[in-house]
Amino acid sequence: MRILAILFFYLSFVGIANAQFKGKVFLDKNKNKLADTSEPGIANVAVSDGQNVLSTDKEGSFNLPGHSKTRFIFITIPAGYKLTDKHYIKVGETTDKVYNFGLVEDPTSAGTSVKMLQITDTETDKYNDWIVNVKNYAKKQGISFIVHTGDICYEKGLNFHANQITSETLGKQIFYCIGNHDLVKGAYGEELFENLFGPVYYSFDAGPAHFIVTPMRSGDFQPSYTVDEVISWMKNDLAAVDKNKPVIIFNHDLLTYNDQFILKGKNDSINLNDNNLKAWVYGHWHNNFVRKSEKTGIHYISSAPPDKGGIDNSAGQFLSIEIDKNGVKKVKPHYTYLHKHLVVTTPSGSDMVKVKNGALIVNANVYDSETTVMNVKSIIYDGKGNKLAETALTANTDWNWEGKIPVTKLAKGKPLTIQTEVVFADGEQHIQKQSFKIDTETSLKWISNIKGNIWKTAPLFAEGRLFAATIDDGNNINCGITALDPQSGKVLWHYKTRNSIKHEIAYDRGLVLCTDMEGFTYALEASSGELVWKKDLGMKSLPGYISAGVAENGIYYTGAEGYFQALEVKSGKTIWVNKEWGGGEGTPEKMTIAGDVIITGSNWQSLFGHDKRTGKLLWKRSDEGLRFRSSTGKYVNGKLYITGLNAIFVLDPQTGKTLQKIDANYEFKVMAAPLVTDKHIIMPTAKHGVVAYDVNTLQETWNTTTGNALVYSAPYAGPESATVECSVIKYKNKLLLGASDGYIYVLDENSGNVLRKINLGAPIFADLSVVENTLYVADFAGNVFALTNF
């Protein structure tokens, strides 16, 4: 019996291995998905059975040998074409056992460069506007194809995407990667994915490049494929590719943070650097991070989900990526859910008006998720509707436009109307009017755009200067530190960093200190912007550094995991390095100095207390939601006030033990810190604005909701979320904050009532700063505002 079983297995294996898979790749002129006799074959198209790869002959025909695990026959779509059906056919699915693939010409896939979109980690079975945004952007902007880099998510998500987010519904080819949460229960982990989306590894060409989709090595359930099998197929696939073609690889996770992309199995390996690898595009971490290796030129490209905020509070977005013969030419984030958004920040009303050097400053925040802004102009009318003046605005950032109008043409103290007209790349127009008047009394002292998006950097005042930092989640060009004159807003100096600065910057002993997303720390002369020292902290694993370091008494504390360390401010010399914990993800909290303890955290890992003198780990907490780290702690009267996922804790900073706790019905996973006054503990939330608790009884006293966020950033927050990432500050008898709906709020502390709100038209993620009765506000559009009379 055993001999018969072995013989049966052997004969089955031989049968599959010796199977012949015949077919044709043809030009499907009538798009009926059938190989009609009048339709010619297409030569030199790569076809695969999952291991073997060969090219079609001059008639477009092929004959593949198959192998023991052949489940699909699939093709590498050639540049300049798209499919009329799928890029794969399941073995046994065709009644006549012929595997034919129809193609039609596609101009968006031809040429010397090609544009694509990346979406990732959507994890949903609900239809929402982000899908419309992606569809319309792809249609309007000449996008060739869309790639979803995995975590479609579990059975419901997989089925939803297979029905609703397809090449047919989007109007563009969409290719799916398998994520760790897409390996679900079945005969094998990828069974459902294969039934819905086909093979888990395959390739296609577009423009000048070769694109490869690769699978996760493991996930929630064990896959049937092995890394060695993927490597074997990749070697065969790449052997058929012109060695001069740039290679772009899609995967749910990053293979390595190092410069050498070597995929290793148990018995085989492949060095992708030797195969002209130019970019590795991935998701998984729910963060926005783009890096280009100085040594190899390879791009590392990660995006947060388009439908919600990222795990580290990254903005929800999708990416457009342009590829040319040299690899990645351009990367651009596109924030979802915004349609013809236009807010003229100045002139507005009677107090948000600025006249400078005889000219009225016109500043507008404009954005649309589905297209780009081509031009903006503003026209001024008097009370009778007579046109007085107009100006064309110039782009400062992807959100902000600015212009000037001579005030000699405008009457002071009389009602005026500004009409702003926007023309978008899709040909659509948007017009908005608002009234204002030029008075001598105004709240706006100055406005200055620093030419990059501003994330979590509160304007920092030191040595008579104001400092802010910018991010660039696309091309790492508009990122750095900028110094401003706090009286006029004039830019005094700018220093470009390697990557984005996504946290509050620090100051100590004449130096401005910060660490970029790649883990490089900078010490700049506050007076001149001159680089005093620069240090590579040694970040080799985390997907991007976003935690804010703190400086005290000549020591700068920065980094995370095995590169969390204390540096000497004047030299950058390492004083100590953490050796006691690792793991987790980036967290946007600012470290907290609590006496002799420095508090830091790692997202999805723990909250940690270290001896600030030696770096020794004193305690860690991962219970009660404290491992979900976003918010910054506040040290008040010997106690540490800090939030978990749904609770506010009062901890002993020496031991980490809970002294008091507020269990809440709010999500506190925001970048803000609690405000502790003599009356209240006040904390921003991810979805419900700001909440206040009595400092003695810990009972909720009020909750003030803000508007719906313009850009979603709090983890898993999406429509409709009244998110506040900005810490609340107290000034005299008022509470001040900025919100993700683009407004500055002035609240009454006792009641939470809104006393005043100012619409800036862009999210405010950075904390506010008050210096000598001037309020400094930085918005996501790159504007820094100086306000008085608030």
Q: What is the CATH number of domain 341-442?
A: 2.60.40.1220
Residue 1 has pLDDT above 70, yes or no: no
What gap in Å lies between CA 250 and CA 268, rounded to an integer?
20
In percent, the amount of the chain with pLDDT more than 70 equals 98
Of 316, 340, 260, 163, the closest CA to residue 723 belongs to 316
What does the H/E/C string look like for 768-787? CEEECCEEEEECCCCEEEEE
Report which residue type is found at 472: D
Q: What is the mean pLDDT of the chain?
A: 95
Greater confidence (11 vs 462) lies with 462
Residue 511 phi, psi dihedral angles, 5° rounding:
-120, 140
CATH fold, domain 1-103, is Immunoglobulin-like (2.60.40)
Indicate where the chain has its CATH 2.60.40.10 domain(s). Answer: 1-103
pTM for the structure as a whole = 0.95
Which pLDDT belongs to residue 762? 98
Is pLDDT at 15 greater than 50 in this prediction? no
pLDDT, mean of residues 475-483: 98
Q: pLDDT tens digit string along 366-397?
A: 999 999 999 999 999 999 999 999 999 999 99
Class of domain 451-632: mainly beta
Q: Which of 742, 730, 734 is nearest to 673 (CA)?
A: 730
pLDDT in tens, 58-80: 999 999 999 999 999 999 999 99
CB of 260 closer than 8 Å to CB of 266? no
* Measured distance CA(503)–CA(536) in Å, rounded: 17
Which amino acid is located at 543 in the chain? P
Residue 8 has pLDDT above 80, yes or no: no
Task: Give the C-alpha separation, 62 to 75, whole Å.
Answer: 11
Instruction: Confirm if 275 and 238 have CB atoms less than 8 A apart.
Output: yes
| Confidence grade of residue 540 (pLDDT, cut at 50, 70, 90) | confident
CA–CA gap between residue 540 and residue 562 (Å, rounded): 10
Strands 98-105 and 21-27: parallel
What pLDDT, on a 0 to 100 scale, did the predictor assign at position 5? 37
Question: Residue with structure tokens 């979603």?
Answer: 712
**d(C-alpha 37, C-alpha 35), whole Å:** 6
Distances 198 to 89, 95, 167, 186 between C-alpha atoms, Å: 8, 18, 14, 15
User: How confident is the model over 685-712, as pLDDT tens digits?
Assistant: 999 999 999 999 999 999 999 999 999 9
Per residue in 744-780, pLDDT (tens digit) is: 999 999 999 999 999 999 999 999 999 999 999 999 9
Q: Is the pLDDT of residue 95 over 80?
A: no
Question: Which tens digit of pLDDT belongs to each residue from 644-686?
Answer: 999 999 999 999 999 999 999 999 999 999 999 999 999 999 9
Residues of the chain with CATH 3.60.21.10: 106-308
Q: What residues does CATH 2.130.10.10 cover in the chain?
A: 451-632
Alpha-carbon distance of 735 to 690, in angstroms, equals 11
Q: Which residues are paired to 768 by β-bridges?
A: none
Nearest of 642, 576, 578 to residue 607 by alpha carbon: 642
| Sequence-separated (6 or more) residues with CB below 8 Å from residue 217 | 227
Are 289 and 282 in contact by the 8 Å Cβ rule? The answer is: no
Residue of 192, 195, 262 lying closest to 231 (CA atoms): 262
Tell me how far the alpha carbon of residue 92 is from its chain's centroid: 42
Q: How far apart are CA 280 and CA 157, in angstroms?
A: 25
pLDDT given at position 377: 97
Measured in residues, the chain has a length of: 790
Q: Shortest CA distance to 706 belongs to which of 662, 754, 748, 749?
A: 754
- What's the rounded Cα separation, in Å, for the pair 725 and 737? 9
Q: Residue 93 — pLDDT band, cuts 50, 70, 90?
A: confident
pLDDT of residue 19: 61
Q: Are 365 and 781 in contact (CB under 8 A)?
A: yes
CATH class of 106-308: alpha beta
What are the DSSP calls for 392-426, one per residue? EEEESSSSEEEEEEEGGGS-BTS-EEEEEEEEETT
* Listed range (88-102, 143-157, 185-199) with the worst mean pLDDT: 88-102
Q: What is the pLDDT of residue 2?
A: 37
| pLDDT single digits (tens) 604-638 | 999 999 999 999 999 999 999 999 989 999 999 99
- Asked if residue 191 has a cis previous peptide bond (ω within 30° of 0), the answer is no
3-class SS at 157? helix
Instruction: Determine the residue type at 595.
Output: G
Within the chain, all domains assigned CATH 2.60.40.1220 are found at: 341-442
**Residue appearing with tokens 């090219």:** 55
For position 542, what pLDDT does the model report? 76
